[in-house]
Structure 1
Amino acid sequence: MPKTALDSLLEPLRPYTQNTRKNTILLTSHGRPPWYGEDGKPLSDAFVIAVAGGSASGKTHVARQIVQSLDSVPTVVVLSQDSFYNRLSEEDVKIAHANEFDFDHPNSIDTGLFASCLADLKSCKQANVPIYSFSEHQRLKETKYLYGAAIIIVEGILSLHDPIMRSLYDLKIFVQCDSDLMLARRLKRDVKERGRTVEGVLDQYLRFVKPSYDNFVQPSSKFADIIVPGHNNSVAVDLISNHLRGKLTARSVRFRERMANVDRYLPLGAAGGTVLEEELEGPNLIVLPRTPQLKGIYTVLRDRTTRRGEFVFFADRLANLVVEKSMELLPFSPISVTTPVGVTAKGMKLTATDVCGVTIVGSGGPLEGGLSRVIRDVRLGSLLIQSHPSTGEPILLHTMLPSCVTDRRKSGDAWVFLLDAQIGTGASALMALRVLLDHGVKQEHIVYLAFIVARGGGIRVIRRAFPDVRIVCGALDDGLGEGWVSSETGERRRTWPIEPGMGSIGDRYYL
């Protein structure tokens, strides 16, 4: 069939109305750079944009145009107002299926939950966002876990109506569109995508949609910072995108080099000289006893001529030793048991109910096996943290955490072993610890496991920032060297390898 003028106007809306059964959240990620300072505390909130306008005005299209135009910036989340419809009773669901329920009135939105989830995401914490099913006219029991957004776009007809919600926005946008075009778009969308009749759509529009627009939606436009058209709005989107890039640049944090050269701006030993080993060690930094066995293991692991099979064998032995030492930091309580010969013996029982491991992907992998061998059926998660190819700063690319961490009701009681082969500059370690704290895990419940820690690196910054986090390692190395690496694009950036070190432990273990 030939394309009509109406089809041309509706075309921008089509790519974004395909997932209508469960109106979820769009998540795109280019890596989240540090959002905290060297003291470990957050420096800035996520940047929140509200996009309001009438039903089928093009709000979703504008929101996703902004996302597409920000293809070189960190994580962007689109949070839909539709996800926060109140749960309906069975009677109300029947009314909704008859197209007689008013979903356009402010009372249909669970504003308290909406504001709570947005406040958590804005303050860099995790949130569990509800999922709404249009076909079932119901908010589902399942939720969508979200964390790590640098930019949050809130989209909905009433997103500018509530003053509590408005107080959370950094930029407020209203999408203005002709009423006839909005009705035409709504007709085509609801009939094709939501299985409704033309008569039903028109009846609902006249009874609920139009009155809501006149009474609540259009009046809220006075709170907007920017009003953009519902179509042909590329100029407005470019202006908004440039504004966002400027805001993100102003909030950028860079400190890996300072952490690598920490001795230049932090006091050294008690006498102002080299940091003594006894000064560096303490209640929150535990180093394995230097036994002949341990020295022999490190000799094999440091030798560049050691073949992979032998390296894996001794790395696994070392992982067992580090994990077993770390187990001493978990809570135990006395218990009595009866032996096979009928005698009562006194012992100890682990009292922590939620113990899990979180691996920093790559270097932390060699410690996973040790943790699994020592703690049966331990739950494991991961953090993908890599260095930016140009700046060398850590960027958070992905989180996959155990349920006892992602569930806010459990995270305060969870004990987490954070697995990373070595702490050099400490930039990735600082990010990983900040992630766990953002989820509600207590500092004193985090045990950081490593094979090597560099005395002259960022370990002192980490200990100042998170004094209650315990770090268990096999050895303290002398310090950090300095070198350069080239990326696949030819960009060169500075690196600080641990000396004497073991090289790239993850590569030697897996490749």
Structure 2
Amino acid sequence: MKTKETGKGDNKDIPAVHHDFGKQLKVLKANNQIRELQTVIRDRTTSRGDFVFCADRLIRLVVEQGLNQLPYKNVTVTTPTSYSYDGVEFVHGNCGVSIMRSGEAMEHGLRDCCRSIRIGKILIKTNEDTGEARVYYAKFPQDISRRKVLLMYPILHSGNTVVQAVKVLKEHVHERNVILLTLFCTPNGVKSVIDHFPEVTVLTSEVDPVIPTHFGQKYFGTD
């Protein structure tokens, strides 16, 4: 059964308002490159090699926009030709946290952009009968309380897993310092996260009722 794609961002850079979720939701500007990647990922006939290739490209785009949400400061450097150049650099104090296992697919894209960034992990399992999500493992950088956190989870469906992850993170860092990086999310998933944590930023490539929930199995070859 075919479903109609829902609205995409059409403003410059990342639109701050989408599906009336307010400024906490940021969606990549839709273009043909992104739509092609989303199409290949959704196509059930896509080989695993093509799937991983396109997923990694989309992850990189989301990660790079996530880095734009981090704090920068102005700096002046001297070029090899002895000219001064006014530029910017990251304010130190950022880290990544992946929700295992599917979130680990995004770690390589983050390290491609920030080679020395520290990455923590959270393991959450959901009871298939009750839908309850429980945290089984969490390990973060020791100074996470002083850092901005890029929380990585590629598919936001119900939002239960991310809600539990942010609850654990809030024991160490204020929710306004948490930026969720996700590739695809449902309106219900976004609503759940933002209703629980109105200061968390959610950054995604698409909001749609139908999302590729097979992502983790296909990416890691366990489908």
TM-score range, shorter chain: 0.7 to 0.9
Residue 459 of structure 1 corresponds to: 190
Matches within 5 A, 1:70-219: none
Residue 425 of structure 1 corresponds to: 158
Q: Are 1:504 and 2:188 an aligned pair?
A: no
Could you tell me whether the CA contact under 8 Å between 2:18 and 2:26 is conserved in 1?
Answer: no
Shift in Å, 1:510: 0.7
Question: Aligned with 2:182: secondary structure?
Answer: strand
Name the TM-score, length of structure 1 as normaliser: 0.39
- Please, which of 468, 476, 480 is the counterpart of residue 207 of structure 2? 476
Shift in Å, 1:400: 1.9
C-alpha distance in 2 between matches for 1:415 and 1:502: 28
Write the letter of the residue equivalent to 2:40.
Answer: V
How many residue pairs get matched?
A: 205
Residue 177 of structure 2 corresponds to: 445
Residue 8 of structure 2 corresponds to: none
Cα deviation per residue 1:336-372 (whole Å; 9 max; x = unaligned)?
1111111111101111x22111111022122111111
Name the TM-score, length of structure 2 as normaliser: 0.87
Residue 111 of structure 2 corresponds to: 372
CA RMSD of aligned residues (A): 1.4
Could you tell me whether the CA contact under 8 Å between 1:360 and 1:385 is conserved in 2?
Answer: yes
Q: Percent identity?
A: 33
Cα deviation per residue 1:99-139 (whole Å; 9 max; x = unaligned)?
xxxxxxxxxxxxxxxxxxxxxxxxxxxxxxxxxxxxxxxxx
C-alpha distance in 1 between matches for 2:195 and 2:128: 28
Could you tell me whether the CA contact under 8 Å between 1:301 and 1:502 is conserved in 2?
Answer: yes
Cα deviation per residue 1:288-347 (whole Å; 9 max; x = unaligned)?
010111011111111011111111111111111001001111111111111111111110
Question: Aligned with 1:341: secondary structure?
Answer: coil
Could you tell me whether the CA contact under 8 Å between 2:179 and 2:200 is conserved in 1?
Answer: yes
- Please, which of 75, 87, 90 is the counterpart of residue 350 of structure 1? 90
Question: Aligned with 1:345: secondary structure?
Answer: strand
Shift in Å, 1:507: 1.0
Could you tell me whether the CA contact under 8 Å between 1:338 and 1:345 is conserved in 2?
Answer: yes
Higher relative contact order (CA 8 A, sep 6+): 2
Question: Aligned with 1:503: secondary structure?
Answer: coil
- Please, which of 339, 344, 355 is the counterpart of residue 79 of structure 2? 339
Question: Aligned with 1:438: secondary structure?
Answer: coil
Could you tell me whether the CA contact under 8 Å between 2:18 and 2:25 is conserved in 1?
Answer: no
Shift in Å, 1:475: 0.7
C-alpha distance in 1 between matches for 2:200 and 2:120: 19
Residue 295 of structure 1 corresponds to: 35
Shift in Å, 1:281: 4.8
Shift in Å, 1:414: 1.2
Cα deviation per residue 1:479-511 (whole Å; 9 max; x = unaligned)?
2xxxxxxxxxxxxxxxxxxx1x22321111111
Which structure: larger Rg?
Answer: 1
C-alpha distance in 2 between matches for 1:305 and 1:318: 19
C-alpha distance in 2 between matches for 1:448 and 1:370: 15
Gaps of 5+ in 1: 1-276, 406-410, 480-498
Could you tell me whether the CA contact under 8 Å between 1:319 and 1:369 is conserved in 2?
Answer: no
Shift in Å, 1:465: 2.1
C-alpha distance in 2 between matches for 1:423 and 1:389: 16
Matches within 5 A, 1:240-251: none
Gaps of 5+ in 2: 1-16
C-alpha distance in 2 between matches for 1:476 and 1:389: 24
- Please, which of 123, 148, 166 is the counterpart of residue 415 of structure 1? 148
C-alpha distance in 1 between matches for 2:135 and 2:94: 23
C-alpha distance in 2 between matches for 1:347 and 1:285: 28
Cα deviation per residue 1:409-431 (whole Å; 9 max; x = unaligned)?
xx1x2111100011111011110
Question: Aligned with 2:68: secondary structure?
Answer: helix
C-alpha distance in 2 between matches for 1:389 and 1:302: 24
